Structure 1
Amino acid sequence: MAVWDRKISYCFTLLLAGALGQRVNYPDPVCGIKGSTVTLPCSFTPPESVDDDPGVLIEVVRVAWCTDDFCQLTALSVYDSESQNNDPRYRYLGDKKGDCTLQISDLQKEDDTTLRFRVETNDRRTTFTGRPGVRVTVVDAALMEIRSSRDDGEFKRGEEVTLSCTTICSIHQLEVSWFRDGSALSESGPALHLSYLTAKDSGNYTCGLKKNKRTLSAPYSLHVENDKVVAAEEEEVQQSCLICFTRTKSSDLLLAVRLLLFTLHTVLIVIVTAIIIKRTCVRKKANMTVQGQD
C-alpha cells in the first residue's frame, strides 16, 4: 500500500472509530529500569454496532499490542491473542471486553518504544487501532543511587536517617533489596529508615531490584560517631547497675541467713520449753505418788 493510501486508510479508520465511540485509554508515559517489570494499565471501548447497519452483532475476535503506527495484521506484534508464539516477557492481563492491560517483565532496550493496542472484530468496519499509544522508556540500572535525608554521611549516636533508593524512573511499586557491607538486610522497599543509630549501623549501603542483583547501586557510606562521653556514661550506668545488683544479692543472702537463724532459735526455744514442762510434770507426779504412800 502506498504511503498516501495508508494515510487515507488511517484517517478513515479514525473517523469511523470516533463516530462509533471506539477508543483506547492509555496510561501516562512509563519509565522502567532495565531488568525490571512494568505494568501498562489500559482500557478500551469495544464496538457494539455499525451506524449504517445496527442489526449487525459486533464481536471482538482478536486483540494485539504492537510497535508500528498502524498495527495492521502484517505488523510484528509483541502480543497477539491469535498467536501461539508470543514472547513470554509480554503477559496480557486484559480480555476482549474492555481491559487491555499489558505487563512487560525483564525490560530490555528494545522495549524503549511506543506501544499501541489494536482491536479486530468480525466486521472490518469496526476494527481500529488506538492512538497515540503509550511511550515506554527503559533506563540503565547503573543509574540507581541512594539518597539520604541528610546531606552528609556523618551521624551521631541516637540520631535517625532515611535512605532512599532512587533513579530517574519511579520505583515506588518495585521490591527493593538492601545490603550493608554486602550482607542482605531484612528490610525491603525503596526507603530504608534507621532509627536510634549506633556504631553497628556504620557501613556501606547498597540497594537494587529484588529480582535482579545486577541492578545494585553505587555504595553509600554511613558513619556513626562513637560518642566517648555517651559511651562512658553508659559504662558508668552499667557498673552502677552491677554494683546495685551485687549489693542487692548480698542483702538478700544476709536476710536469708538471718531468717534461718531466727527460725532455728525459735525451734530451739520451743524444744527447751517442752523439755522443761515435761520434767516439771514428771516431778509433780512423783511427789504425788510419794504423798499417797504415806
Structure 2
Amino acid sequence: MAVWNGQVLWSFMVLLAGAVAQNVNYPVRPVCAMKGSTVTLPCTFTYKEIAEKNGRNVSMQIVRVLWCKNHEICQGTTPSVYDSESETNSRRFQYLGDKKGNCTLQISNVQMEDNATFRFRMEANVPVQNFTGKIGVNVTVNNNSKMRINSSSDAGETRGGETVTLRCTSECSFYPLAINWSKDGLILPESGPVLRIGPVTAKDSGNYTCALKNKPNTGCMPYSMQVKEAKADVNLPLIVGVVFGVLLAVITLILVFFIIRRRRVVTVDQIDVGGETEEKHRDYIYSNIMPSAELEEVYDRPQTSRAVEDVSYAAVQFKHNKQKRQMQEAEDSTVYSSVATQD
C-alpha cells in the first residue's frame, strides 16, 4: 500500500513539473541606449524540473546559457555575445544571471553595432528541453542624443533646507548607469543617474550638468539652481519681549493681590484680639470704679433699685458684645455678689 502511494505521489509530481513550460521573460523592451553608455537587459526564465529521458523521468538541470543577437534560435554556429561555455566572451557583455532563473545581461560602452535584437537561450541535460526566448529585446542605439536634467524642485528659487533630486536622462528615456555630474564646470564626486542634494544651502547655488563618463560631448544644457536662504523673523525678539513683559506683569499683579489680601486678614485678626482685650479692661475698670462708700449706699437702697441697676449693668454689657461676654458677665456677677455679701 505504501509503495502504491509513493508511485501515485511520484506521478503527481511528474505531471505538476510537466505543466510548468519553459519560458523566457524580458520585462523591458525595447531599450534605447546612447552610444558609450551602459545598459542592462533584465531577463528571467523557467524550465521543467522533471523530464523524460531514455524512457524514464529524470531531474532536469540547466547546463548552458547563451545570449546572441539577430537570430531567432541562437544555437549551433550562431555567433553569441555571451556563452557560459566559452572563454572568449567580449568584456563588454557581462552575464549577471545564473542557471536557476535569472538571465540578466549587461552591455557596457554601447556601440552602434549593438543596434540589434538580443535573445536568451537555455540548454538542459535533456536536449529536447532546450529553449530560446524568441521575442527578445530590441536595443536602439542613439549617437546624437543629448542628456537632460529633470529636477524634483519647481522652477525658480529653491528654499534653503529642502532636498533636491536631479535626474540625468536622455531622449531614449533610459537612465544610463555611468554618469558624471558637474557644478559650475567642476566635476562632482557623485556619480550615477540620480543626484540628491540636501538640505540645500546658499553654497549649493549654481549650474549643474551631467554627461556620460568619458563622453563629454553628451553633456546637457545646464540646470540653474538658486537657493534662497530662509530669513529669520526680525520681529521675533520684539514678540518674545512683549510676551515676557505681559507674563511678568500678570505674575506681579497676582503676587500683589495675595499680599494685600494677607495683610487684610492679619489686620482683622488683630482688631478682633485688640477689641476683646479692651473690653476686658473696661469691665475691670467698671467693676472697680465704685468706692466703698457708694457700695454701702447701694446696699442700703431698696431691693428694687438694686435689681434695676443689675439689669442696666447687664444691658450695658450685652450691648458691648453679647456673645463674647457671656462667660465674663458670669464672673463679674460672682464678684459683685461677693462684695455685696461682705458689706
Q: Which TM-score applies when normalising by structure 2?
A: 0.50
Q: Shift in Å at residue 186 of structure 1?
A: 4.2
Q: Identity of paired residues, percent? A: 50
* Change in CA separation of 1:101 and 1:162 when aligned onto 2, cut-off 3 Å: closer
Q: Is the 8 A contact 1:49 1:56 kept in 2?
A: yes
Q: Is the 8 A contact 1:142 1:217 kept in 2?
A: no
Equivalent residue of 1:125, what SS? helix
1:23 equivalenced with 2:23 (yes/no): yes
Q: Is the 8 A contact 2:200 2:227 kept in 1?
A: no
Q: Which residue of 1 aligns with 2:42?
A: 41
* Change in CA separation of 1:125 and 1:195 when aligned onto 2, cut-off 3 Å: closer
Deviations 1:132-176 (A, max 9, x none): 122233334742013456776x648869766442223232x7353
Deviations 1:77-124 (A, max 9, x none): 111122222111111122323322212111222222221111223443
Unaligned 5+ segments in structure 1 are: 1-17, 234-294
Equivalent residues in 2 for 1:179-194 (5 A)? 179-189=182-192, 190-193=194-197
The amino acid of 1:71's aligned partner reads C
Q: Is the 8 A contact 1:66 1:78 kept in 2?
A: yes
1:170 equivalenced with 2:174 (yes/no): yes
Q: Is the 8 A contact 1:50 1:125 kept in 2?
A: no
* Change in CA separation of 1:142 and 1:204 when aligned onto 2, cut-off 3 Å: farther
Distance, in Å, in 2 between the alignment partners of 1:57 and 1:158 is 63
Equivalent residue of 1:50, what SS? strand
Question: Which residue, 111, 125, 132 being the options, matches 1:108?
Answer: 111
Distance, in Å, in 2 between the alignment partners of 1:119 and 1:32 is 26
* Change in CA separation of 1:61 and 1:206 when aligned onto 2, cut-off 3 Å: same
Unaligned 5+ segments in structure 2 are: 1-17, 235-343
Question: Which residue, 68, 74, 78 being the options, matches 2:77?
Answer: 74
Distance, in Å, in 2 between the alignment partners of 1:221 and 1:126 is 57
Q: Which TM-score applies when normalising by structure 1?
A: 0.57
Moved more, 30-39 or 62-71: 30-39
Distance, in Å, in 1 between the alignment partners of 2:144 and 2:161 is 31
Distance, in Å, in 1 between the alignment partners of 2:222 and 2:32 is 23
Equivalent residues in 2 for 1:1-294 (5 A)? 21-29=21-29, 30-47=31-48, 48-50=50-52, 53-56=55-58, 58-67=60-69, 68-140=71-143, 142-148=145-151, 155=157, 163-167=166-170, 168-171=172-175, 174=177, 176-189=179-192, 190-193=194-197, 198=202, 203-210=206-213, 212-221=215-224
Distance, in Å, in 2 between the alignment partners of 1:187 and 1:129 is 40
Distance, in Å, in 2 between the alignment partners of 1:195 and 1:141 is 35
Higher relative contact order (CA 8 A, sep 6+): 1
* Change in CA separation of 1:33 and 1:102 when aligned onto 2, cut-off 3 Å: same
The amino acid of 1:136's aligned partner reads V
Q: Is the 8 A contact 1:116 1:134 kept in 2?
A: yes
Moved more, 18-27 or 189-198: 189-198
Distance, in Å, in 1 between the alignment partners of 2:139 and 2:220 is 22
Equivalent residue pairs, number = 211
